[in-house]
Amino acid sequence: MNSMLLAIEGWLVALIVLSCLLLIGLIVIFILVPLKTWFIALVSGSHVSMSRLVGMKLRKVNYKLIVNTYIMARKGGIKLNVVDLETHYMAGGNVDKIVKALIAANSAGIDLSVELAKAIDLAGSDVQEAVETCVTPKIIDVNDIAAVAQDGIEVKVHVKVTVKTDIHELVGGAREDTIVARVGKGIVSCIGAAENYTELLENPAEIAESIMSKGLDDGTAYEIVSVDVSDIDIGRNLGAKLETEEAEKNKQVAAAQAERLRAMMVAEEQKMKAKTQEMKATVLAAEAEIPKAIASAIKEGKFGVLDYYKLKNLQADTAMRNSIAGADQDSGDGEA
């Protein structure tokens, strides 16, 4: 009897211990396992193991978002697993957008793999928008591209470029800014090749055809579908402006040359005046020697007093004649 009692007591103790362990396990499961999320995934046909949910919860991953996007992917016919979504989430990606993009691509018949979608998202592009523009092209406005035709008239062109995304070139391919820059360069080249601005006004389609023929979308994430010229404006007559500026420049050069020549002539005139003054001074100096010479001649007996008076009379007569001649000349100038 004692041995039987001991056996029963042992079974009771084991049962109690087992019950306690089971209770503890249930408590741990209720605390760690998000049963509601696990149950939603289960009934949606997108089973996620409890251990995976516990792991995501411990790693502080938004398990509700992961499970919801996983269910959406499975319902949309996308073959991926929870690990792909969890890894992408932990890498900083947007799991909701890549799943929606994959579903949209699958519906539109676009070849988009899970890895490519993740790469596009991690590269900083909006993968969902990229898929949408693959299906529905978008319009890029290229405005106010100005250049000068060969006749000197400035022409301003506005175009609308319709593009669709090349999903396989989105990683590493040039973006919208490159398309705008290349189209602008093509417009400038086309305007510059026109002999007359009226050619562009009469046939604006030449600009669109020229841009389309250049393959400007090579190496970009877009494919140019069409180019449409929306407006052409005529700007300034730069040719006439340049000619006017050139004429003004030539005028200033000519004026500078004339001023230089005038300054040279003025300097030459001043030089001649100085030389005249110098010659007058020489004459006056020579005239100053005459009285000395006369005095010396009289003293030496070579020149008499009578000769001296004759010389004075001659000088007086000459002075009178010069005075009369000067008066007649002034009178003639006055009458004139």
Q: What is the pLDDT of residues 264-314, one digit of tens each?
A: 888 888 888 888 888 888 877 777 777 777 777 777 777 776 777 777 787
Query: Which pLDDT belongs to residue 335?
Result: 45
Q: For the whole model, what pTM was predicted?
A: 0.55
Query: Which pLDDT belongs to residue 248?
Result: 81
Number of domains comprising the chain = 2
Burial 137-174 (b: 16+ CB within 10 A, else e): beebebeebbbbbeeebbbbbbbbbebbbbbebbeebb
Q: Looking only at Cα atoms, what is the longest distance across the chain?
A: 201
- In this structure, are 129 and 141 located in the same domain? no
Question: Could you give the CA distance from residue 10 to residue 3 in angstroms, rounded to a whole number?
Answer: 10
- In this structure, are 162 and 116 located in the same domain? no
Last residue of a domain, one of 237, 271, 286: 237
- The angle subtended at Cα 10 by Cα 4 and Cα 15, nearest 5°, is 130
Last residue of a domain, one of 237, 267, 284: 237
Q: Are 147 and 192 in contact (CB under 8 A)?
A: yes
Q: What is the pLDDT of residues 90-145, one digit of tens each?
A: 988 999 999 999 998 888 888 888 888 898 888 888 888 888 888 888 888 988 88
Residue 141 lies in a domain: yes
- In this structure, are 123 and 142 located in the same domain? no
Q: Which of 143, 157, 225 is nearest to 189 (CA)?
A: 157
- In this structure, are 84 and 148 located in the same domain? no
Residue 24 lies in a domain: no
